[in-house]
Amino acid sequence: MTSSLHRLYSFRRCPYAMRARLGILFAELQVELREIILKNKPPQMLAISPKGTVPVLQLIDGEVIEESREIMIWALKQNDPQGLLDAEVIHQANALIDENDNEFKHWLDRYKYADRHPEMTQEAYRQRGEAFLQVLEKQLAKNHYLMGESISIADIGIMPFVRQFAHVDREVFYSLPYPNLQRWLQHWLVHPVFTQAMTKYQPWQEGDDVVVFP
């Protein structure tokens, strides 16, 4: 079945995919959603994006955007009613997302799956990850959101990763000395846009009806 919407391949348990969904929601756009399972990627997705990672956005004109940050930015460039791409903070927001993607994610994966990485203890992995949490805590001690008093792409780009880190062991996370980060995460966990982003969908199969998100 064809659709007149841009098409997003997504996977709910992937923080990069959640970042893309958040971007689409804050941009107040609608897309066709194809939820996938990483172990069984649809050939239609691999045909347009052979690197095989989610999220992937296929625009109506055929262009393919296969990096989560680019999907967020593309969406918000279409429509950004809350100013998430505020020019005054975009440079700093991008630098923080770089740190998230290039360093924090590395330690998050090891903290989450410490048994697969026996070179260090789980606690040591957590402590490495905490270096980034400390940077976030410092920002959030000054402002409600990472870049100031309003939401920026840094918040939606980083929050799904901090959530995963916290959920490795909630008791430990909430015992750490990061009260502002904990407040920020809790705010996001009940935020209506985030809960909408986390809506569960059945994996897509050829022949299914089009699923429109949101």
Length of the chain as a residue count: 214
Distance, in Å, from the CA atom of 11 to the CA atom of 69, rounded to the nearest integer, reads 15
Question: 52 or 179: whose CB is closer to ligand GSH?
Answer: 52
| Pattern 30-49, ligand GSH, x by CB under 6 A | --------x-----------
Residue 36 · residue 208 · CB < 8 Å: no
63-102 residues in contact with ligand GSH (CB under 6 A) are 67-69
Nearest residue to ligand GSH on Cβ basis: 14
Question: 71 or 140: whose CB is closer to ligand GSH?
Answer: 71
- List the one residue out of 206, 159, 213, 157 whose CA is nearest residue 187: 159
Question: 17 or 146: whose CB is closer to ligand GSH?
Answer: 17
Question: 49 or 152: whose CB is closer to ligand GSH?
Answer: 49
Residues 6+ apart with CB under 8 A from 39: none
Question: 101 or 137: whose CB is closer to ligand GSH?
Answer: 101
52 counts as binding ligand GSH under rule CB under 6 A: yes
Distance, in Å, from the CA atom of 81 to the CA atom of 25, rounded to the nearest integer, reads 11
Binder of ligand GSH out of 44, 48, 53, 90 (CB under 6 A): 53
Helix (H), strand (E) at residue 108:
helix 105-112
- List the one residue out of 138, 61, 39 whose CA is nearest residue 96: 138
Contact residues: ligand GSH, CB under 6 A: 14, 16, 38, 52-55, 67-69
